[in-house]
């Protein structure tokens, strides 16, 4: 084994955040407040399939929050926050899994933060980084693709600018291509479900992802994906024109692929 002092390892860069994709589907999130910031938080939560409960007097709701309550299944409690909200929320009567505070009252916000800490409920107090268990970054969304840019609470507007730049430079159709790859993975797992086949599945899917362009991936039909799966057992990945030639029920043996007419080759 090489001397540890001779090995190169990444340098530690303190002061960052652990960026995670938090799965809150079907979990209950309490939003205190009903203004513009709360509206953005609520949309993020609904995109993640959370159950959202908004505690705010009706006169404090902005038009977007009113719309979410009326149309998107958001539960509204028409009053100011009370400590018992951390114990039981409608309609389930359970405590929240997460709390987001977006009100123009620093003292009240800090009190809610302290109550959340006592109950070990993760919380975010808008615009107060020191009273946050987590931050909201600026997110680019294209179907299943999500890219978050975070400045660790130091420059939200800069994060938004960087996010827009990234979005403008991504290939067209990248979200659709990822969707197709996801469908192919599901089909492959159904075809080869054994746990011990996991490493081989991952290696083959990596080769498939590297073999086709974004546009090519988007253009794959369900028949193309079924035909592509036929190459899994031999650990091969055909070129796109071979898959197109197999459309209509043809199999590789039916194709005159070795005389150069299709230029058949297999990605190494």
pLDDT confidence tier of residue 267, bands split at 50, 70 and 90: very low
- Domain presence at residue 75: yes
CATH number at residue 233: 1.10.3280
226 classed as catalytic = no
pLDDT digits 0-9 by tens, 247-264: 998 887 777 554 444 444
Lowest mean pLDDT among 12-16, 45-49, 75-79: 12-16
Q: Which helix (H) or strand (E) holds 39?
A: helix 36-47
> Are residues 201 and 154 part of one domain?
no
> Are residues 225 and 235 part of one domain?
yes
pLDDT digits 0-9 by tens, 69-83: 999 999 999 999 999
pLDDT at site 261: 40
The catalytic position among 97, 127, 133, 142 is 127
Count of CB atoms within 10 A of residue 158's CB? 12
Full-model pTM: 0.79
> Are residues 244 and 196 part of one domain?
yes
Mean pLDDT of the chain: 90
Residue range 88-114: average pLDDT?
A: 96
Q: How many domains does the chain have?
A: 3
> Are residues 165 and 124 part of one domain?
no
pLDDT digits 0-9 by tens, 48-62: 999 999 999 999 999
- Higher-pLDDT residue of 192 and 172 is 192
The CA distances from residue 180 to 48, 124, 218, in Å, are 20, 35, 7
- Domain presence at residue 262: no
- Domain presence at residue 89: yes
pLDDT confidence tier of residue 3, bands split at 50, 70 and 90: low
Contact criterion met (CB below 8 Å) for 126 and 37: yes
- Domain presence at residue 147: yes
> Are residues 96 and 149 part of one domain?
no
């Amino acid at each position: 084994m090489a001397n540890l002092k001779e090995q190169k390892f990444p340098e530690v860069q303190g002061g960052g955040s652990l960026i995670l994709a938090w799965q809150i589907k079907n979990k209950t999130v309490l939003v205190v407040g009903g203004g513009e910031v709360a509206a953005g938080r609520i949309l993020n939560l609904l995109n993640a399939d959370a159950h959202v409960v908004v505690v705010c007097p009706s006169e404090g709701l902005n038009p977007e929050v009113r719309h979410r309550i009326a149309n998107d299944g958001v539960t509204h409690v028409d009053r100011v926050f009370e400590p018992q909200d951390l114990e039981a929320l409608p309609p389930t009567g359970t405590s929240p899994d997460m709390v987001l505070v977006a009100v123009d009252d620093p003292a009240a916000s800090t009190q809610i933060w302290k109550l959340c800490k006592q109950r070990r409920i993760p919380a975010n107090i808008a615009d107060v980084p020191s009273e946050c268990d987590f931050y909201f970054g600026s997110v680019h969304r294209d179907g299943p693709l999500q890219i978050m840019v975070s400045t660790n609470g130091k420059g939200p507007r800069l994060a938004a600018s960087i996010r827009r730049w990234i979005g403008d430079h991504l290939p067209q159709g990248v979200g659709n291509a990822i969707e197709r790859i996801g469908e192919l993975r599901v089909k492959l797992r159904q075809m080869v479900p054994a746990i011990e086949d996991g490493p081989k599945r991952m290696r083959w899917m990596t080769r498939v992802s590297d073999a086709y362009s974004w546009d090519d991936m988007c253009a794959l039909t369900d028949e193309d994906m079924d035909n592509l799966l036929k190459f899994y057992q031999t650990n091969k990945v055909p070129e796109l024109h071979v898959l197109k030639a197999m459309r209509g029920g043809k199999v590789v043996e039916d194709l005159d692929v070795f005389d150069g007419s299709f230029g058949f080759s297999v990605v190494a």
